[in-house]
Structure 1
């Protein structure tokens, strides 16, 4: 046997099934299934026709927000202003329907998407141009956007009766058993997932999150890609704001308050590494479904709201610890492999 043969790098072959089971999304999906089955066993009404529809509706807004947040986290950033963006767009939606009767629903959607994208672009510019950590920037814009909404809305609220019946029907009517707005959320997950997997600019987001400096060396336009992630995140928050106005009975100055932490939690619990570079939008969507289902399940089991929040906190800590342990194990395997091949 030659030296070259002895020193040839060894490759481990894994079956497709083994690779599938190692995916980050699998434990989250398994936890979701167990949660649903246990809750159903304790309360059979949990999976009634209306109960299943409510579960899908409750998860819809969070799924869209989690997908956008995941794109930002992939780049080793975070956006804490999404709840405020949603609130502004939701109130804009109510204002358009109240002040411009007969306005076409597609125009309202376009206005909401445009405002969300604009607010996301402001976040992206501040992060990429000022070179200030996104956590600090978006914490500031969270309060700025919320302040603008408070000043604009004041004590005004818009209710379900202020919007066209066709608009409200988006959260009522179903296709093949799925609410229309839930199908929109699924479409968002599929489209963004295809973009991240198939487009070079999408794959660049992972590279940036893994090593920003190396990405610059390899010619990736880091600032432009990060800017794109923030704009898309804002656009999706705008879409969520419009759908929020269709889903819920009222919108006002406090709409969306506190949602930002739930959104980050959904992405992290869904397997998106908080330090960037890995995860998937499908996982973020499953994480969103898990968190909203936990709330519904604990409510169905008449568990105190405090414990609902505690469970979410435990899930976040567990997800971060699992990600950290996986990173350490991967680094250890890499070192052992390099030592063996020397």
Structure 2
């Protein structure tokens, strides 16, 4: 009797690792930002040997502290495919609120908590309008930007808070540190690590990525979309409030113009740091690197004799490059998904 061997079953094509590809791109991008930052600082040090002195390093970190905090909060909102343009106004009004309280002989810790609470409250307003009101985030936060700025101007008037009006220990904390590392940078690093851990390790944090990738799919999966958007805005407002209090400690000078135009710098830092404006990807560490890169450029150019008017132009170029990279990655991922769908259909037909 002749035995006929059964044909081996056709191998089912493996799905391309789309998520893995995207993760690798984001990691490479963050490493590239870090490499550019190191190369820029090294070149500046070779040109100006005093640039990376102990005081120079402390100044670099102090300059980045405020932007890193606000960028972390903004990154959480952008991951959900939204944006908060009111962060500059929130920073300004919370800084003045903390300073106004301290002028009356208040406690420094209570002043910081007051600024955080006020920022979180303003975040609730933004979050409710966006999540429950179903109003586009760009429109909502542009409106609250002007409203908060107007309230701040009416409240502040012609008054100006200076370091002489504040407790000496509060302003000392804003400048002192452990060697070249200021206390403000240590506090910011602790907040960054905690926020990044929660975003990656807890379901509520991972839900933000799912929501940003596909809001409709997130709803079908049972993710409480409105609650997550509200949480992102509250966190963003709270971090902007904390940044306002630290701004007061750092500079000791607040008036009605504090934080004006800051929102554009924050958005640039977030996008340059690899957080896609279309949502669903990026990390807080990338946003922090983007903020550190932008603030370092502000310090590097004057030290090598380049006019500071070039800073905004360079920031704009970096923003356009980041958007271009995001677009290329999006097209690459879309192509991988189409190939995956075609291979799956072919496997079913076989």
Fold similarity call, TM over 0.5: yes
TM-score (norm 2): 0.92
Report the secondary structure of 2:51's partner residue.
Answer: helix
Work out the number of aligned pairs and report it: 339
Measured after TM superposition, the shift of residue 299 of structure 1 is: 1.6
Aligned match of 1:81: 86
Aligned counterpart in structure 1 of residue 175 of structure 2, from 172, 175, 192: 172
Q: Distance in 1 between matches of 2:327 and 2:340?
A: 20
Measured after TM superposition, the shift of residue 332 of structure 1 is: 1.4
Q: CA distance change for structure 1 residues 2 and 168 in 2, over 3 Å: closer, same or farther? A: farther
Does 177-186 or 64-73 show the bigger shift? 177-186
Q: Distance in 2 between matches of 1:182 and 1:306?
A: 27
Measured after TM superposition, the shift of residue 189 of structure 1 is: 0.8
Q: Distance in 2 between matches of 1:112 and 1:58?
A: 20
Q: Distance in 1 between matches of 2:47 and 2:334?
A: 43
Aligned match of 1:152: 155
TM-score (norm 1): 0.94
Which is greater in Rg?
2
Is the 8 Å Cα contact of residues 16 and 340 (structure 2) preserved in structure 1?
A: no
Aligned match of 2:296: 293
Q: Distance in 1 between matches of 2:221 and 2:25?
A: 30
Q: CA distance change for structure 1 residues 223 and 4 in 2, over 3 Å: closer, same or farther? A: farther
Measured after TM superposition, the shift of residue 59 of structure 1 is: 0.1
Q: Is 1:183 aligned with 2:192? A: no
CA-to-aligned-CA distance 1:256-283 (integer Å, 9 cap, x gap)? 1110000010000000001100000000
Is the 8 Å Cα contact of residues 24 and 279 (structure 1) preserved in structure 2?
A: no
Q: Distance in 2 between matches of 1:336 and 1:301?
A: 49
Is the 8 Å Cα contact of residues 171 and 246 (structure 1) preserved in structure 2?
A: yes
1:1-342 equivalent positions in 2, closer than 5 A: 4-9=9-14, 19=24, 22-99=27-104, 101=105, 103-175=106-178, 177-341=180-344, 342=346
Measured after TM superposition, the shift of residue 176 of structure 1 is: 5.2
Q: Distance in 2 between matches of 1:105 and 1:2?
A: 78
Give unpaired runs (5+ residues) of structure 1: none
Give unpaired runs (5+ residues) of structure 2: 1-5
Measured after TM superposition, the shift of residue 23 of structure 1 is: 3.6
